[in-house]
């Protein structure tokens, strides 16, 4: 069995560990347009901020490939897939055959076409190379002025990291509020206030229309409202779209992402897709969609890996989950946390003075979403209740309690998660 994996992030790790759990003989080849290091993308903001070094950015030890008997082709992008000939071709001209192929190409950053993108000082922020180049650029600028385009998760993380590096940051967001895809109005306002109180210039309902330079370097940008922002660096943190070009060209079924079944199989039974590039089942909204988060990428990779070697372990479905820290205050969205009140039972707790906000969304007695700002230590309990679709109707008010514990949850759920002789829950 020859297995080829395109990409070397969480999805690839999940697949490899799952394959080796069941099959020691399969030939595994990983092809990546990045270096061989397996790093944690969620930690890139801490890396840029200088809070961790490159060694702590690692997601798996450097001997991971050797221990799992994996051949790695690094710094060489796959440029085409031949579904009939069961092979892939790389940029360097290599042709590698496969019996099973996993597309784990993740997402590509969204950068709108506008003048000035070729200037020195324009960056994206989704890869280690982005963070490293941006960090080196900042080292050569005194009192840097940064413009971050996008007020979603990537934009917020970039903003917080740049602020920690001593940059004066202006953030522009086209929507009426920041973090609109994850938070509701009150939570967004709380995060926005934290940014502004710490000197970040947040401008909503605005975006960049042109970047201007001098001697090939960024000097200022023009915004949609015709105002200008002086800056030394522009970082695009708008978001990512599934990197599905290879699948499209190979004739696979692609919607927003690559369409897959419960085993992560694409429309071609020999080709799988998982992670940010895949459109898989989301159990909260009861539909297939792309959910670009690290835990989903690993889990889906593990499911694909198992099925490629004959183990049928269907995907139970993912739960959208995003976490960000702004000026030392954590914020988290789980499931359908910003669902409208109409058709839902919404519970809210707000303490602005302590920067604490909690919004829980129930539908037909079951928790389907949560937004947490300031206090996120009960997030695991909420996530479990959502994932297991537990009826919490009798405990609905206790869910808001800041001291809620496992004992606050329904008995059938406690007995589901805590087992063992002599244990009474």
Say which CATH architecture domain 122-238 belongs to: 3-Layer(bba) Sandwich (3.50)
Structure confidence at residue 287 as a pLDDT band (50, 70, 90): confident
Name the residue with higher pLDDT: 317 or 250. 250
**Cβ(44)–Cβ(54) below 8 Å:** no
| Residue 405: per-residue pLDDT | 54
Q: Cα 158 vs. chain centroid, distance in angstroms?
A: 14
Q: Region 151-165: what's the mean pLDDT?
A: 96
Q: What letter would DSSP give residue 187?
A: H
**pLDDT mean across residues, the chain:** 92
SS3 of 69, please? coil
pLDDT at 425 > cutoff 70: no
More confident of the two residues 408 and 400: 400
Q: Which residue has the higher pLDDT, 407 or 355?
A: 355
Instruction: Tell me the per-residue pLDDT of 302-319, one tens digit each, with 9 for 90 and over.
Output: 999 999 999 999 999 889
In CATH terms, the fold of domain 2-44+53-108+241-308 is: FAD/NAD(P)-binding domain (3.50.50)
For the domain spanning 328-417, the CATH number is 3.30.390.30
Residue 305 token pair: 């890996």
pLDDT of 402: 58
Segment 120-125 shows an average pLDDT of 97
Tell me what percent of the residues of the chain surpass a pLDDT of 70.
94
Count, in order, helices (H) and strands (E) of the chain: 10, 26
Query: Would strands 70-73 and 27-31 be described as parallel, antiparallel, or unpaired?
Result: parallel
Q: How far apart are CA 134 and CA 245, in angstroms?
A: 27
* Position 78 pLDDT exceeds 60: yes
Please report the pLDDT score of residue 51 as a whole number: 95
Give helix 294-308 / helix 10-22 axis angle, nearest 10°: 30
For 322-338, letters b (16+ CB in 10 Å) and e give bbbebbebbbbbbbbbb
| 267 phi/psi in degrees, rounded to 5 | -70, -15
**pLDDT exceeds 90 at position 129:** yes
Q: What is the pTM of this model?
A: 0.90
Tell me: pLDDT of 421 over 50: no
Kindly report the length of the chain: 425
Residues 17, 316: Cα–Cα separation, whole Å: 19
Please indicate whether residue 358 or residue 424 has the higher confidence score (pLDDT). Answer: 358
Which range among 43-57, 235-249, 304-318, 389-403 shows the weakest confidence by mean pLDDT?
Answer: 389-403
For residue 226, count other CB atoms closer than 10 A to its CB.
Answer: 7
Residue 418 banded pLDDT, cuts 50, 70, 90: very low
The per-residue pLDDT for 292 is: 85
What pLDDT, on a 0 to 100 scale, did the predictor assign at position 318?
Answer: 87
Domains 2-44+53-108+241-308 and 122-238 share a fold: yes
Residue 399 has a pLDDT of 84
Q: Note the pLDDT of residue 305.
A: 98
CA 217 vs. chain centroid, Å, equals: 30
The DSSP element (H or E) to which 166 belongs, if any, is none
| DSSP helix/strand/coil, 235 | strand
Residue 412 pLDDT exceeds 60: no
From the list 100, 194, 203, the residue with the least C-alpha distance to 149 is 203
Task: Tell me which residue of 154, 151, 158 sits closest to 173, measured CA to CA.
Answer: 151
Least confident of 16-25, 376-385, 396-405: 396-405
d(CA 132, CA 317): 34
Question: What residues does each domain of the chain span?
Answer: 2-44+53-108+241-308, 122-238, 328-417
Positive or negative, the Cα torsion across 146, 147, 151, 152? negative
């Amino acid at each position: 069995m020859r297995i080829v994996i395109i990409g070397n992030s969480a999805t690839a790790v999940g697949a490899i560990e799952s394959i080796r759990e069941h099959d020691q003989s399969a030939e595994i080849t990983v092809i990546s347009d990045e270096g061989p290091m397996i790093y944690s993308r969620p930690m890139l903001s801490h890396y840029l901020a200088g809070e961790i070094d490159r060694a702590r950015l690692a997601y798996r030890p450097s001997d991971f490939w050797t221990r799992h008997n994996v051949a790695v082709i690094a710094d060489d992008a796959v440029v085409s897939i031949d579904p009939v000939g069961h092979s892939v071709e790389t940029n360097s001209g290599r042709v590698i055959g496969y019996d099973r192929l996993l597309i784990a190409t993740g997402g590509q950053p969204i950068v709108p076409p506008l003048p000035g993108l070729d200037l020195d000082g324009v960056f994206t922020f989704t890869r280690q190379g982005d963070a490293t180049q941006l960090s080196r650029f900042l080292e050569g600028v005194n009192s840097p002025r940064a413009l971050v385009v996008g007020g979603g998760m990537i934009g917020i993380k970039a903003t917080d990291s740049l602020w920690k590096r001593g940059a004066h940051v202006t953030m522009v967001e086209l929507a009426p509020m920041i973090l609109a895809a994850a938070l509701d109005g009150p939570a967004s306002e709380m995060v926005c206030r934290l940014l502004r109180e710490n000197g970040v210039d947040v401008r909503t309902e605005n975006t960049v229309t042109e970047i201007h330079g001098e001697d090939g370097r960024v000097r200022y940008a023009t915004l949609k409202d015709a105002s200008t922002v002086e800056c030394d660096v522009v970082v695009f943190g708008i978001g990512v779209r599934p990197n599905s070009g290879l699948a499209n060209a190979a004739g696979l079924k692609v919607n927003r992402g690559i369409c897959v079944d419960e085993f992560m199989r694409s429309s071609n039974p020999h080709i799988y897709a998982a992670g940010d590039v895949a459109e898989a089942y989301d159990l909260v909204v009861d539909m297939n969609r792309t959910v670009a988060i690290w835990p989903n990428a690993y889990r889906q990779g593990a499911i694909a890996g198992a099925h490629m070697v004959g183990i049928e372990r269907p995907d139970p479905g993912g739960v959208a989950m995003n976490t960000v820290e702004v000026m030392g205050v954590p914020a988290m969205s789980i499931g359908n946390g910003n669902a409208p009140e109409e058709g839902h039972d919404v519970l809210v707790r707000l303490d602005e003075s302590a920067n604490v906000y909690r919004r829980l969304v129930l539908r037909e007695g079951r928790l389907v979403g949560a937004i947490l700002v300031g206090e996120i230590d009960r997030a695991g309990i909420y996530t479990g209740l959502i994932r297991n679709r537990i009826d919490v109707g009798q405990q609905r008010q206790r869910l808001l309690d800041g001291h809620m514990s496992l004992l606050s949850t329904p008995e059938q759920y406690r007995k589901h998660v805590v087992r063992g002789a002599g244990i009474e829950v």
